[in-house]
Amino acid sequence: MSSTSSSVLRAEHIWLDGKLVKWDEGSVHVMTHALHYGLGVFEGIRAYKTHDGRLAVFRLREHIRRLLDSAHIIMLHIPYTEDQLVEATLELLRQQKHLFANGAYLRPVAFMGDGAMGLGAVNPTRVAVTAWDWGAYLGDKGIREGIRAKVSSFTRMHVNVNMVRGKITGQYVNSILAKREAVLAGYDEAILLDISGFVAEASGENIFMVNKKGVIKTPPLSSPILDGITRDTVLKLLRDSGRVVDEVTFTRDALYICNEIFFTGTAAEITPVREVDNRQVGEGKPGPIGRFVQESYFKVVRGQDDRYADWLTYV
């Protein structure tokens, strides 16, 4: 076994351009076009150990479809079909189930490879799928107790500046700058506003809030946000439970005076926010709606709710 750090277990192999290769052989040339210009797309996917001891990938096809859609948006040709990429992901896990019996984080990525340089170059696309053991992105304590967030001085990109529906590698510089600003200021995560000053999303998560009247709100897809698969999952869980969710814009001060805030994302899963800009949110701890969403979400990904069995692809 080897790890990316002393505590993070990584796969022994990766899937690269159609075949499994050893982790240390999964390299690309320094003249790779995407390294210089950021033209690539990626996904974050989780596989969970289910209640019966099996391993299942959550919403695998939806993630692969979004990867292909992101590539289509930036005119990056991926030389594999949806079925081939689904099978590649499952093959990677099947070959290494001894490492990931308790779950894994999966990272499909496609990017323009080496060859010609310059902004007008069109080189062959490289495609890889990697896996490692990645716990809660914002920490287990954050999931239990909530995190502190800061409204960033960096603005979420306008829809005419970049393609906000695509999960595009180069666009994440915007998120990295916001995240670093927040962490250096002593917070856990950043919240970005759009150019009109309305709440968009966190640096790597979608955002939900519950106001003092108990109304659940999340920014609409007409905002410059990623169409998150975990966001879609939470909308489905809430609405199936009979709760109403308004997909509407709202301001940062609406966050200051609401009862609950929580982030959603594959890496962060369901993470409550207990404080924004040094203002306590609600009672300063996870609220009832957030706890319901957490409990429901983890039951689904662990195969304990048959209503959503089709969201799981067993390895």
Residues labelled catalytic? 167
Rounded Cα gap, residues 299 and 23, in angstroms? 32
Report how far Cα 268 is from the mean position of its chain's Cα atoms: 7
Beta strands 19-22; 13-16: pairing state: antiparallel
Rounded Cα gap, residues 206 and 225, in angstroms? 8
Q: Are 101 and 55 in contact (CB under 8 A)?
A: yes
DSSP 205-251: SEEEEE-TT--EEE--TTSS----HHHHHHHHHHHHTT--EEE---B
Q: Are 295 and 245 in contact (CB under 8 A)?
A: no
Rounded Cα gap, residues 32 and 27, in angstroms? 10
